[in-house]
Amino acid sequence: MPERAPDRLLRLLGMIAYLDRHDGVPVDELARQFGVTPQQALEDIDTLWVTGTPGYLPYDLIDFDATSYEEGVVRLTESRGMTRPLRLGAREGVALVAALRALDGALGRTLDPERRAVLESALAKLTAATGDAAGAVDVQLAVDGAPQVAGAIARALRERRRLHLSYVNASDVATEREVDPIRLVTEDEHAYLLAWCRSVDGERLFRVDRVLDARVLDEPAQEHHVPASADVFAPGPEAELVTLRLRSNARWVAEAGPVEDVRNLPDGVFEVDLRVVAPEWLRSVLLQAAAEVLDVRPVERAREAAAAARAALGAYGPLAEAVADGAGE
C-alpha cells in the first residue's frame, strides 16, 4: 500500500538527523535503518537534495557529497539547520501542554506503562518550561460516539475486560460482537477501537461513532499480539480492485483510503488503484471528487455513482428541475 505523505515526511526528517550523526552511510544500510528499499532511499535523498529553507536558492538547499553519492554512499554536507534543537515559543508550548493534557485525560489510563511514562515525562517537562502560562490550561479530548459507549470502551481498556458491541458497519449492517479491546486509535476526525474480534478470530477496527451499544463483560480480555500496521485499515486481496483516473485537484483521494498503487500521468493526471470493501464508501468518494473524475474501472462503479447523484438531485424536487433547466441554457 502506498505510504501517506505525512509518513514520508517523518522519514525524510529522520534521515536528515540520522545522516547528520553518521559520516557517510551506504545506501543499503540507510534503507535498512528506515525500513524501505534502496530505490526508495535514493528517491528520498533526491527529494531532500532539492529541499531547503525559504529562498530555495542553491545556498538554501540541503546538500550531499556528489562523489560519495555516485559510489553508493550518502554523506550529508549541509543540513540547513534542520538538525538544530527545536525551540518553542510560549504559544507553541501552551498548545502542546493542552494537547498532552487532553490526551492524558482521555487515554492516559489505557496506555501501557512505558507509553504512559513517556507521556507523563513530556507533560511534566513542558509544563515546567512554559511556567505560569500553562496553569490555566484545562482541556478535555472529546471522543466521538455516545458517552455511554465511550465510557464503556475506556473502562474495558483500563480494566482489561472483554466488550460486547452492537455495531453498524459502513454498509449499514448491524451485528453483535464480543471483542477483546487492544487500544483506542485516532485517525483524522474519527476515533477507532482496535480490538480482537472473537467472531472472526482476528483484529478489527471499529469506528466509535458506529457503536450503538457497548457493555463491559465479566470475562477478562485475552492478550493478543497484533502487527504495528493493525491501526491502518488494509483490505485483503478478496476486496474489489477499482481504478480511478483523476485530475491533480483530487490528489486527496490517494490519501483518503486503502490505496494499492498510484501512477502519475502527464499534465498532472494520475491513476489510483483502490481495494473496495464497502461500495457506499466508493460512491461517496466519487461524488466528492466528481468534477475531477476522468475514468472509473470497472464502469459499473461509475454508473452506480451517477445513479446515486441523480437520486440525490431528484430529492430536491422542483428545485432540481430548475437547476437542470438552467444548466441546459
Across the range 154-173, mean pLDDT stands at 87
Tell me the whole-structure pTM to 2 decimals: 0.53
Both 213 and 256 in one domain: the answer is: no
Both 55 and 103 in one domain: the answer is: no
Q: Peptide bond preceding 298: is omega within 30 degrees of 0, i.e. cis?
A: yes
User: Which band of pLDDT confidence, cut at 50, 70 and 90, is reported for residue 280?
Assistant: confident
Measured CA to CA, the distance from residue 106 to residue 153 in angstroms comes to 11
Q: What pLDDT score was predicted for residue 161?
A: 93
Is 329 contained in some domain? Answer: no
- Domain of residue 198 covers 147-231
Query: Has residue 229 got a pLDDT over 80?
Result: no
Q: CB pairs under 8 A, 24+ apart, for 119-126?
A: 123/97, 126/93, 126/96, 126/97, 126/100
Both 314 and 246 in one domain: the answer is: yes
**Which CATH number belongs to the domain containing residue 22 in this structure?**
1.10.10
* Phi and psi torsions of 221, nearest 5°: -75, 135
Is 296 contained in some domain? Answer: yes
Both 319 and 256 in one domain: the answer is: yes
Is 328 contained in some domain? Answer: no
Whether 143 contacts 184, CB under 8 Å: yes
Both 255 and 314 in one domain: the answer is: yes
Give 186's contacts (C-beta < 8 A, 6+ positions apart).
192
Whether 186 contacts 228, CB under 8 Å: no
Query: Has residue 99 got a pLDDT over 60?
Result: yes
Q: What pLDDT score was predicted for residue 231?
A: 62
Query: Has residue 106 got a pLDDT over 70?
Result: no
Q: What pLDDT score was predicted for residue 139?
A: 57
Across the range 216-222, mean pLDDT stands at 94
User: Which band of pLDDT confidence, cut at 50, 70 and 90, is reported for residue 27?
Assistant: very high
Domain boundary among 134, 165, 198: 134
Is 97 contained in some domain? Answer: yes
Across the range 234-252, mean pLDDT stands at 85
Query: Has residue 138 got a pLDDT over 70?
Result: no
Is 309 contained in some domain? Answer: yes
- Which of 288, 248, 286, 249 shows the shortest CA–CA distance to 264? 248
Both 161 and 225 in one domain: the answer is: yes
Place of cell 472483554: 162
Domain count, the chain: 4
Across the range 135-160, mean pLDDT stands at 75
Place of cell 496553569: 135
Measured CA to CA, the distance from residue 7 to residue 52 in angstroms comes to 19
Is 59 contained in some domain? Answer: yes
- Which of 210, 200, 167, 202 shows the shortest CA–CA distance to 182? 202
Both 101 and 72 in one domain: the answer is: no
Measured CA to CA, the distance from residue 40 to residue 50 in angstroms comes to 16
**Which CATH number belongs to the domain containing residue 169 in this structure?**
2.30.30
Both 316 and 298 in one domain: the answer is: yes
Query: Has residue 140 got a pLDDT over 60?
Result: no
Give 146's contacts (C-beta < 8 A, 6+ positions apart).
211
Helices 299-314 and 318-328: crossing angle in degrees, nearest 10, is 120
- Which of 90, 86, 214 shows the shortest CA–CA distance to 150? 214
Measured CA to CA, the distance from residue 241 to residue 253 in angstroms comes to 15
Number of CB atoms found within 10 A of residue 246's CB: 23
Pairing relation of β-strands 73-74 and 76-78? Answer: unpaired
Is 282 contained in some domain? Answer: yes
Whether 262 contacts 270, CB under 8 Å: yes
Domain boundary among 181, 197, 231: 231
Across the range 129-157, mean pLDDT stands at 73
Both 99 and 66 in one domain: the answer is: no
Query: Has residue 107 got a pLDDT over 70?
Result: no
User: Which band of pLDDT confidence, cut at 50, 70 and 90, is reported for residue 97?
Assistant: confident
Domain boundary among 78, 102, 126: 78
Place of cell 551506504: 26
Number of CB atoms found within 10 A of residue 48's CB: 22
User: Which band of pLDDT confidence, cut at 50, 70 and 90, is reported for residue 136?
Assistant: low
Tens digit of each residue's pLDDT (9 = 90 or more) over 165-211: 999 987 678 899 999 998 887 765 678 898 999 998 888 889 888 99
**Which CATH number belongs to the domain containing residue 259 in this structure?**
3.30.70
User: Which band of pLDDT confidence, cut at 50, 70 and 90, is reported for residue 232?
Assistant: low
Beta-sheet strands, E only, within the chain: 25-26, 63-64, 73-74, 76-78, 161-168, 174-187, 190-197, 202-207, 211-220, 240-246, 259-264, 270-276, 293-297
Q: What pLDDT score was predicted for residue 91?
A: 78
- Which of 31, 19, 33, 12 shows the shortest CA–CA distance to 77? 19
Q: What percent of the chain has pLDDT over 90?
A: 35
Both 211 and 251 in one domain: the answer is: no
Both 269 and 304 in one domain: the answer is: yes
Both 310 and 248 in one domain: the answer is: yes
